[in-house]
Amino acid sequence: MTRRHDSPREHAVPGRFAGQTAIVTGSTRGIGAGIAERLAAEGANVVVSGRSEDAGEAVVERIDEATGDDAGDAVFVRADMRDSEDVAALAEAAVAEYGSLDVLVNNAGVQTETAADEASLDDWAFVVETDFRAYWLAARAALDHMDRGAIVNVSSNHAHATMPKHFPYNAVKAGINGMTRSLAVDFGPRVRVNTVVPGWVEIERTRDEVPEGRFEEVESIHPTGRIGTPSDVAGAVSFLASEDAAYVTGSALLVDGGRGAVLQDDVLPDYRAREGPAEDGA
């Protein structure tokens, strides 16, 4: 099987964000936790945020345990992204703790298992306020404290193609891509704004969504021969937030193991069976 990149620190670029401060919303687990760990490994002081203090402090502890000479610090700040005051307080907390704010990663997200003809107004508000409105509010709050900075919004491949019973999550993810373009135009040249668009990523929610016994089948229809890990997304976020992407703004980077290149599954080989003997160097 294709080699997995399970550790967010595996391909970290030492010192890439030295002296900088980053906020990662929804970073108590999953993709957000992976992003927080990667940015800290590259020198950023990271504000970990979410609703669960225990889970957030666990992420901070992992960052602290892995801290090397070039690594950054971390602190947890509890925030409910549906609460506009909590969102605004994140930027204030970052500046109060570390003296600056250079990177914002909007990652917090929720979804409901509802179709467009089933979703209630409460479902709509729950998803839209967490996954969409909060991105705008956090970006606006961060702008007040940024001299030259970067914002990375985490969207989803549901912005391009979707499945039943993912409304309004899918609609919101498409909206995030549009928001990124708007923010890039309005915030430039002071702040760059981009989107990372993950496909299948192996987190707790993904395991729950895939029917029993079908996980290997899902892996087999990815040209990479596997689905993603939080580390895969974290690497893309790190690039977009860094000076390596200094001329990139208003863009959406698809990180989906090649699924977006597939027209129909019934013509695919089993990509896992095509692995060569040199996979250790992948």
Residue 173: predicted pLDDT: 96
Choosing from 98, 135, 169, 271, the catalytic residue is 169
CB 149 within 8 A of CB 101: yes
- Cβ-in-10-Å burial (0-12, 13-18, 19+) of 168 comes to buried
Q: Is 247 in the active site?
A: no
Of residues 203 and 75, the one with the higher pLDDT is: 75
* pLDDT averaged over every residue in the chain: 91
Residue 267: predicted pLDDT: 84
Residue 93's pLDDT band (boundaries 50, 70, 90)?
very high
Q: What is the pLDDT of residues 227-247, one digit of tens each?
A: 999 999 999 999 999 999 999
Is residue 206's pLDDT more than 70? no
Residue 202: predicted pLDDT: 87
Residue 257's pLDDT band (boundaries 50, 70, 90)?
very high
- In the chain the domains, ranked by start, together with CATH numbers, are 21-276 (3.40.50.720)
Is residue 207's pLDDT more than 70? no
Residue 281: predicted pLDDT: 44
Is residue 84's pLDDT more than 50? yes
Residue 275's pLDDT band (boundaries 50, 70, 90)?
low
Tell me the whole-structure pTM to 2 decimals: 0.91
Is residue 53's pLDDT more than 70? yes
Is residue 4's pLDDT more than 90? no
Residue 273: predicted pLDDT: 80
Residue 18: predicted pLDDT: 96
Lowest mean pLDDT among 20-29, 178-187, 189-198, 256-265: 256-265
| Structure tokens belonging to residue 44 | 């950023």
Residue 280's pLDDT band (boundaries 50, 70, 90)?
very low
